Chains A and B, each alone.
Chain A
């Protein structure tokens, strides 16, 4: 556990050294998955609890029959928490596997010679970057409006740190330049945007 904590901290304060160490024997796939689940579950739970608090504070303001109100109070919180936790974990696990796969393919196209297992390994460890957003969640729990602003700023930082760590890992594992690794890493985000735009266009046509 202590070693895992060291790796988590290392990815935040000594990213280059830690990524290299992880790719050269220190990293474990199970640990990588554990970090994805730990940070993803923590973030999803935190968001769910914040939303639940907000909903329970706002719900009484809206006109509803008493039965509906009672049912909402009884079932809304567990439903919200369960749904967000499941959606969050599923989303992150898809991001982990498919994102790793797409990035690996892109790195190969750019002349890389690494293995998929190494890309997936380092991809999982990059979930450590959610630490920033989790800090924002703490602020949001104490003050919702201020927390939203902080969360937006920290979401950007989280994304940048994730891209940075992942690029370092892809560069190291595939033996390509950091620029090419960055392109490979961004390919997954670009792919998601393309799919999203296509889906919106299709929905508009329908």
Chain B
């Protein structure tokens, strides 16, 4: 029998290989997803009707008024100071006195905000209001519902400053890995979701004052429901 076919030689080589692989595997294996059942990898954008898609371009730092329902409103930053808004099922999108007005069907507004969006003021009708400045979205809303689709990729993040006293965040799955970081300067934040894990990690007892919600997302969408005042 060849020396290399001896059982102890083969077993020894396998044992040493296992010892080496045990160190190498964690280095080269794909990173674990913190929410594997909630946020599947390789997801795609939500499917939306493609009819009635309209686009309006307006100068920097406008106030955006959105009256929309079952529509998709996309804020995308054009080069530097111009921001493009488009919506599926859009009735109209126009700029008046530096204010962008968007009207569309349905009750859910989805906004895609590039990471570097700056000085955008977004105002939702029916007591829904949001302001985005330097990639920080300030939300002041009552019984409103809107979806923010973050275009940030990789390790880039957008931050959101919630001004309400009581905020409930509803995080829905979709897209690839989404990581939520919640920090606050006061108030009460509750996170609702279909999954107990989200409830556990998202609930925080806070004092009074504005909130800072930092969202680190990659091709994912997050639904945020704001209730109470």
Residues of A that sit less than 8 Å from B by CB: 2, 4-10, 12-14, 18, 38-39, 42-43, 45-46, 49-50, 52-54, 56-58, 60-66, 69, 128, 130-131, 134-135, 137-138, 141-142, 144
Contacts and interface: CB of A to CB of B under 8 A. Distances in A.
Given A141-B22, A141-B29, 19 more contacts: A5-B16, A7-B12, A9-B11, A9-B14, A13-B7, A13-B11, A43-B22, A46-B26, A53-B29, A57-B31, A57-B32, A58-B34, A61-B181, A63-B183, A66-B183, A69-B181, A134-B18, A135-B22, A137-B25
Which of B7, B32, B216 has its CB near the most chain A CB atoms (within 10 A)? B32
B69 interface: no
A47 to B, nearest CB: 9
Interface in B3-31: 6-16, 18-23, 25-27, 29, 31
B201 interface: yes
Which of B9, B22, B35, B201 has its CB near the most chain A CB atoms (within 10 A)? B22
Interface string B40-79: 0000000000000000000000000000000000000000
Interface in B166-204: 179-184, 201, 204
Contacts of A141: 22, 25-26, 29
Contacts of A52: 26
B19 A131 contact: yes
Nearest to B30: A142
B33 interface: yes
A39 B13 CA distance: 14
B181 A63 contact: yes
Which of A12, A43, A52 has its CB near the most chain B CB atoms (within 10 A)? A12
A115 to B, nearest CB: 26
Interface in B145-162: none
Contact of A137 (B16, B22, B35, B182): B22
A63 B18 contact: no
Given A6-B8, A9-B9, A38 B180 contact: no
Contact of A57 (B10, B14, B34): B34
Nearest to B198: A61
Contacts of A5: 9, 12-13, 15-16
Given A13-B7, A14-B7, A54 B32 contact: yes
Contact of A8 (B16, B35, B184): B16
B15 A18 contact: no
Contacts of B12: 4-10, 12
Q: Closest 5 A-B residue pairs measured CB to CB? A: A9-B12, A9-B11, A49-B26, A5-B12, A9-B8
A46 B23 contact: yes
Given A5-B12, A12-B15, A42 B20 contact: yes
A152 B180 CA distance: 32
Contacts of B26: 46, 49-50, 52-53, 137, 141
B22 A134 contact: yes
B9 to A, nearest CB: 6
Nearest to B216: A60
